[in-house]
Chain A
Amino acid sequence: MKIRGWRTNLFRLIMPLAFLAFLLPGFSAMAVEGDATIGGQLYAGSRPMANGGAPCIACHAHPGFGAAGTASYGPDLSNLYTDYGAEGVAGVLESLAFPSMEAIFASRPLTARERLDLSAFFAQTADRKTAPAISLAGLILLGVVSVFAIVALLGLRRLKGVRQPLIDQVRKQRGM
């Protein structure tokens, strides 16, 4: 009874451990690498930061978000991963020790998960080309110019005199 009891206890002890061991590889892999997709969502602000921090896209430019995503309040992050490497990025994300960022993130730090996801995202997108050629300001300028061009084009037909051409026509006929 006793032996059997011990065996049962052992079994009871081993089974969860075995189960844990079975789960562990996946778990640890996630913990280490983070999810680049979730990182992307965090970056772009479609998934909110757990502590209420602002999404990176609000201030930084990074390829892959089109011209509307090329904010220029902070530095361009296109080469972040290439320059700093995985550890560098992780370090930066942990402290965010830049004067302008501190003000935002000191009271709203990124969680460990978020840092991992963002790192994964930066790692995954490291080979993307640098920020698009047309900045937002350039795009707005282009828009304004083209609107003016359209208006000017439409306005070409505007207010063409009637009387003067009649006079000119007669003068021409008479060779004046």
Chain B
Amino acid sequence: MDIRAQVSSVFHLDKCIGCHTCSIACKNLWTDRRGNEYMWWNNVETKPGTGYPTKWEDQEKYNGGWERVGTQLRLKQGGKAATIGKIFHNPDLPTMDDYYEPFTYKYADLTNAPAGTDQPTARAVSMVSGKPMKIEAGPNWDDDLSGSTVYAANDPGVIELSAEQQQQLFTIEKMVMFHLPRICNHCSNPACVASCPSGAIYKRGEDGIVLINQDKCRGWRMCVSACPYKKTYYGWSSGKSEKCILCFPRQEAGEAPACFHACVGRIRYLGVLLYDADKIEETAMKADGELAAAQREMILDPFDPQVLAAARKGGMAEQIIKAAQKSPVYKFVKEWGIALPLHPEFRTLPMLFYVPPLLPVLSTEHQGTQKLADDFFTSLEQARLPLMYLAGLFAGGNEEEVKAVYRRLIAVRIQRRAETVGDMAEAEVAKARELAGLDSKTLDAIYRMTSLTRIKERIQVPPMLREQAVEAGMDPEEYKQSMGFGSRKAPKRRW
């Protein structure tokens, strides 16, 4: 066993209201520089929809992530030779149009326009060419199903569905959608790291945060195509690629990452997970449908004495172990089993988990008058948001995985309804518990964690122990003198 710690997170999609506060918090903090206009380390998508960049999930087009070749795991975009072969013309990159052409408005015209008979207007201008432009796309252009005939209809997950299921999704007045906030998954098996010809990307040993060394990055952009989630971006001004850093400077100061901190719906949970790094390859080699379960298997119980002994032997600090024991993410993923990774079939073993949205499932044609636990579970198959679609998103197509999660989420609701409204028979509640496989105490704990917790409970930033991390590599005194504020050197061109 090779036990590692990973700062991991859970996004509760039922609670996401799609307000984009997370995106703005991140943008203002990290990517408000020139050349980074189009960069959204955090973005919120509407599902069904094609997302940002357009159709990022379609790996037939973008060739991101890993694939199994015999008994080997291989980058889908090709190995070292292929990388060199296309180093000057990587064909798998999204175009500017697939992100969007960044734009601003000529606000000055509103006040400086010469007097005339017309109202002055602020025309849209491209931030690339500076010329007036027609805005045709944006990072959340298909927000709330706008343009669904183009964007929602072309969602790679929707295309997989049968005509009947698609009908079910898009019936007028019953149209269904949910929001999917996305940041870098800080994967255990990151394809971006494996693809980098300069060796600039690395996964921090002590907390698993994946970072791009700005001094070593040469801007080859192989990571942009290799990341199946399209979460590394090329900075056009700096000539370097950048990605979500999980706000490590904030975390090192004990603060929650900005998007977590700003989240209005309080959907974001953060905590340390312990996992067995020896099992990464074996896990990533599993069949599509087994990947979600295998990844859960890879995550270890922070109370298991065997695990703890191995962790201590590997030199893990006590504070990290303590943080792992308090981690809400561990509860969501492992104890309660209600959080699943996004697109596990890309085989990067993403360490960001999602509680799938329940809301559309409950709203059946009976208008909220369901009586029996049975009703809930039969309605699951006829849900407006087809299970197959959700299974395609969160479980590599394995509907049973998603069903198990929904049974638990529904059991929480039934138990709460019995308690607060009092119109549920005890037998129904017991049946729901039995189907969920969770006892009433656990269901209460899920309810508490999803609706009543404060920020310090939801977001357990571990002690980052930078002193120890520095000490492992060099003398801390020397580090302090030589590194000080970091080692950022200006590129020859400009920032």
For A157, the closest partner residue in chain B by CB is B91
Contact flags (1/0) for A124-168 with B, using CB distance below 8 Å? Answer: 000000000000000000000000000100110111111110110
Contact between A159 and B150, CB atoms less than 8 A apart: no
In Å, the complex CA distance between A159 and B61 comes to 10
Minimum CB–CB distance from A158 to chain B (whole Å) comes to 4
Residues of A within 8 A of B88 (CB): 151
Residues of A within 8 A of B93 (CB): 158-159
Contact between A155 and B89, CB atoms less than 8 A apart: yes
Contact between B53 and A158, CB atoms less than 8 A apart: no
Minimum CB–CB distance from B97 to chain A (whole Å) comes to 5
Contact flags (1/0) for B135-153 with A, using CB distance below 8 Å? Answer: 0110000000000011100
Among candidates A158, A161, A170, residue contacting B91 with C-beta atoms closer than 8 Å: A158
Contact between B91 and A159, CB atoms less than 8 A apart: yes
In Å, the complex CA distance between A155 and B150 comes to 28
B90 within 8 A of A: yes
Residues of B within 8 A of A162 (CB): 50, 53-55, 58, 61, 94-95, 98
Residues of A within 8 A of B50 (CB): 162-163, 166
Residues of A within 8 A of B55 (CB): 162-163, 166
B86 within 8 A of A: yes
Contact between B154 and A166, CB atoms less than 8 A apart: yes
Residues of A within 8 A of B149 (CB): 170
Residues of A within 8 A of B154 (CB): 166
Contact flags (1/0) for B67-89 with A, using CB distance below 8 Å? Answer: 00000000000000000001011
Contact between B97 and A161, CB atoms less than 8 A apart: yes
Beyond A162-B94, A164-B97, 7 additional contacts (C-beta under 8 Å) are A158-B93, A161-B97, A162-B98, A163-B55, A166-B55, A166-B151, A167-B150
Number of interface residues of A (CB under 8 A): 14
Task: Check A154/B53 contact, CB under 8 A, given A162-B61, A166-B154.
Answer: no
Within 8 A of B (CB), among A62-84: none
Task: List 28 contacting pairs A-B, 8 Å CB cutoff, sorted by A.
Answer: A151-B88, A154-B86, A154-B89, A154-B91, A155-B89, A155-B91, A157-B91, A158-B89, A158-B93, A161-B98, A162-B54, A162-B55, A162-B58, A162-B94, A162-B95, A163-B50, A163-B54, A163-B98, A163-B137, A164-B97, A166-B50, A166-B54, A166-B55, A166-B150, A166-B151, A166-B154, A167-B136, A167-B150
For the residues of A in contact with B, the DSSP-based class is: helix
Residues of B within 8 A of A155 (CB): 89, 91
In Å, the complex CA distance between A114 and B50 comes to 79
For B90, the closest partner residue in chain A by CB is A158
Residues of B within 8 A of A154 (CB): 86, 89, 91
In Å, the complex CA distance between A54 and B40 comes to 65
Residues of A within 8 A of B53 (CB): 162-163
Residues of B within 8 A of A160 (CB): 95
In Å, the complex CA distance between A160 and B95 comes to 7
In Å, the complex CA distance between A161 and B58 comes to 13
In Å, the complex CA distance between A155 and B93 comes to 12
Residues of B within 8 A of A164 (CB): 97
In Å, the complex CA distance between A162 and B95 comes to 8
Minimum CB–CB distance from B139 to chain A (whole Å) comes to 12
B53, B91, B149: residue with the most chain A Cβ atoms closer than 10 Å: B91
In Å, the complex CA distance between A157 and B151 comes to 23
Within 8 A of A (CB), among B87-113: 88-91, 93-95, 97-98
In Å, the complex CA distance between A164 and B86 comes to 24
In Å, the complex CA distance between A151 and B53 comes to 26
